[in-house]
Structure 1
Amino acid sequence: MIRTCLAGLAAATCLAYTPAVAHEPTERVLVWADEFNEAELDRDKWIVIGTDFWVNNEQQAYLDSPEVIQIVDDAEGADGGALMLRPVYKPGVDPHAERKADFISGRVETKGLHDFTYGRAEARLKLPDAEGVWPAWWMLGNGRWPEIGEIDIMEYVGEKDWIGVALHGPGYSGETPLVNKYFFEEGEDVTDWHVYAVEWTEDEMLFQVDGHTLYRVTRPMVEHYGKWSFDNPKHLILNFALGGAYPFKTNGIEEPYNGLPQATVDRIKARDVAMMVDWVRVYAPEE
């Protein structure tokens, strides 16, 4: 039943799961989950990225600190606890001589702990209305990018009426042609709780918001541009970036920071900007 369930996880730990609400998948085998109901981040499930990491001219330094990564039990609308990734204005902390970021933020991954091949990955998220932020929920292979493949389940750059999805791999990376946007229905936006998911098989990807498919990518579509890089294990990533390439390409803001306007900086200084994660779940492929 499970072609590749969870690297390093015994089959006996895979749990039968019956969804509680309509937008969740039909009865599936749940192979991994974090409900974020403990007092602290579970280090058996997640690693935390530090200050050495830097890409895309992002304006933050990642730091392993409760200032930017913490479990909260009072998030409105969450089912129990929630993971909060919150950028903080903190000049002088970043040790990276070339970057010298004025902000710190959080990035957590399952790399080296839990990898997945095929199935369904989903997370229930609530995002801030703040131009130039760049939180994301995605999956990445282990090895050299872009050959190892990247699955962007949700990227947000601060325009609250839409989110983006994308695939990256050899021949279709960076300004990838395999990209789409989801525009929310009237009366909804990213500041509401939504479930962002990907259904991943040997031959296609279905990107979904609240169970509605917004983009279907097939193996032939990918192979028109390059190698299909999605038959290998991938780990989960949740991160909160600020400014940099994608926000700047969208908003054109140069000051006070690349892609990040003063209004958002002021809100970050007030600690009024965060991504909330109610839960993350991974299911085995359907039979």
Structure 2
Amino acid sequence: MAGMKFVPGISMALALCVAAEEETTAGDAPAGYQLVFSQEFSEDGPPDEEVWHFEEGFTRNEEDQWYQKENAFCEGGHLVIEARREKVVNPHYREDSRSWRRSRPFAEYTSASLHSKPEYAWTYGWFEIRAKIVTEEGLWPAIWTTGHGRWPHAGEIDLMEYYNHGLLANVAWAGPGGRAKWDTGYLPMAEIGGEDWDQEFHTWVMEWTPEKIVLSVDGRVLNTTLLKDTVNEVGERKSPFHEPQRLRLNLALGGDRGGDPDKASYPSRYLIDYVRVYQKKDD
């Protein structure tokens, strides 16, 4: 399209969105970086299914929610991930099952979890996500990435998790015996405003280079991980963080970290204003 700068790796619909936002996004780019991916969530309706995959059912960490795509939608310029108190029949229920996924006849809550499709994955860059979370017990919102392949060998980066009355910023890879080895940063809510902090939007950033991963919120560094320290201790003895990672956005409930979901208010909305990925121009 004449006069429009095409951004590599995104659809025409996304390119139009980038063109509309070009004045602001170009100004936000760190020196030497260019925008390669943008989701501004400016049109009401479902998220772009060319970009996002939606998880379904019970997934991980013995969490209490049933994931379903209808709990994620764009409204008022934001991606909304909505947690609801509602009963859903588990079609995989087996009375004699020892699996936590199959032994529950119902889910008492629903929510949504999205991750970018395999073609939307990046190695290194400046990842910026502006979002608003609710900091109540029972809620476990997250912004994170995973690599292609089995976990934790393919790596995980948590730009943001909220639970246990604080924000977490984590990096994981394969440690002894193939178990996850974590480098974790934790910031208590009491240090950044307590109960009033979640009344506003905040900006999470990951600066990921061949040497390190730096995770921050509103310019405050929560964790710095050197890639030389992230070598898998089983299988191929290399760091997974020289390979592409896909982006994930979800709102979990309860489970082994989130606390008691009965203590949260419903419906509860996790709002994402935008997702932007920049990479160095010579990469």
| TM band (smaller chain) | 0.7 to 0.9
Asked whether the equivalents of residues 19 and 26 of structure 1 are also in contact (C-alpha less than 8 Å), the reply is no
Asked whether the equivalents of residues 166 and 176 of structure 1 are also in contact (C-alpha less than 8 Å), the reply is no
Distance 1:6 1:277 in 2: 23
Distance 1:94 1:139 in 2: 28
Q: Which of 15, 18, 30 is 1:26 aligned to?
A: 30
Instruction: Kindly state the Cα deviation for residue 167 of structure 1 after the two structures are TM-superposed.
Output: 0.9
What pairs up with 1:165-180 in 2 under 5 angstroms? 165-171=169-175, 176-180=181-185
Distance 1:19 1:72 in 2: 21
Query: How high is the sequence identity, in percent, across the aligned residues?
Result: 29
Instruction: Kindly state the Cα deviation for residue 126 of structure 1 after the two structures are TM-superposed.
Output: 0.3
Instruction: Kindly state the Cα deviation for residue 190 of structure 1 after the two structures are TM-superposed.
Output: 3.4
- Counting strand residues as a fraction of each chain, which structure ranks higher? 2
CA separation of 1:96/1:189 partners in 2, compared to 1, >3 Å: closer, same or farther? farther
CA separation of 1:148/1:220 partners in 2, compared to 1, >3 Å: closer, same or farther? same
- The answer on 1:185 being equivalent to 2:226 is no
Instruction: Kindly state the Cα deviation for residue 211 of structure 1 after the two structures are TM-superposed.
Output: 2.6
Partner of 1:71: 74
What TM-score comes out, normalization by structure 1 length?
Answer: 0.77
CA separation of 1:164/1:133 partners in 2, compared to 1, >3 Å: closer, same or farther? same
Distance 1:36 1:61 in 2: 24
SS in 1 for 2:92: coil
What pairs up with 1:198-209 in 2 under 5 angstroms? 198-209=206-217
Asked whether the equivalents of residues 128 and 158 of structure 1 are also in contact (C-alpha less than 8 Å), the reply is no
SS in 2 for 1:180: strand
SS in 1 for 2:198: coil
What pairs up with 1:84-95 in 2 under 5 angstroms? 84-95=80-91
Partner of 1:195: 203
Asked whether the equivalents of residues 169 and 227 of structure 1 are also in contact (C-alpha less than 8 Å), the reply is no
Name the aligned partner's letter for residue 170 of structure 1: A
What pairs up with 1:150-161 in 2 under 5 angstroms? 150-157=156-163, 159=165
Distance 1:286 1:213 in 2: 25
CA separation of 1:120/1:274 partners in 2, compared to 1, >3 Å: closer, same or farther? same
What pairs up with 1:1-287 in 2 under 5 angstroms? 19=24, 24-27=28-31, 28-40=33-45, 41-51=47-57, 53-65=58-70, 68-73=71-76, 81-97=77-93, 98=102, 99=104, 100-157=106-163, 159=165, 162-171=166-175, 176-183=181-188, 184-186=191-193, 189-223=197-231, 227-247=238-258, 259-264=259-264, 267-268=265-266, 271=267, 273-285=268-280
Name the aligned partner's letter for residue 30 of structure 2: T
Distance 2:92 2:160 in 1: 28
CA separation of 1:96/1:233 partners in 2, compared to 1, >3 Å: closer, same or farther? same
- Counting helix residues as a fraction of each chain, which structure ranks higher? 2
What TM-score comes out, normalization by structure 2 length?
Answer: 0.79
Deviations 1:219-239 (A, max 9, x none): 233249774211111111100
CA separation of 1:155/1:21 partners in 2, compared to 1, >3 Å: closer, same or farther? farther
SS in 2 for 1:108: strand
Asked whether the equivalents of residues 169 and 185 of structure 2 are also in contact (C-alpha less than 8 Å), the reply is yes
Partner of 1:256: none
Asked whether the equivalents of residues 164 and 257 of structure 2 are also in contact (C-alpha less than 8 Å), the reply is no
CA separation of 1:34/1:180 partners in 2, compared to 1, >3 Å: closer, same or farther? same
Deviations 1:219-260 (A, max 9, x none): 23324977421111111110010011122xxxxxxxxxxx21
Instruction: Kindly state the Cα deviation for residue 182 of structure 1 after the two structures are TM-superposed.
Output: 2.8
Distance 2:278 2:53 in 1: 21
Instruction: Kindly state the Cα deviation for residue 104 of structure 1 after the two structures are TM-superposed.
Output: 1.1
CA separation of 1:64/1:107 partners in 2, compared to 1, >3 Å: closer, same or farther? same
Unmatched tracts of structure 1, length 5 or more: 74-80, 248-258
Asked whether the equivalents of residues 82 and 277 of structure 1 are also in contact (C-alpha less than 8 Å), the reply is yes
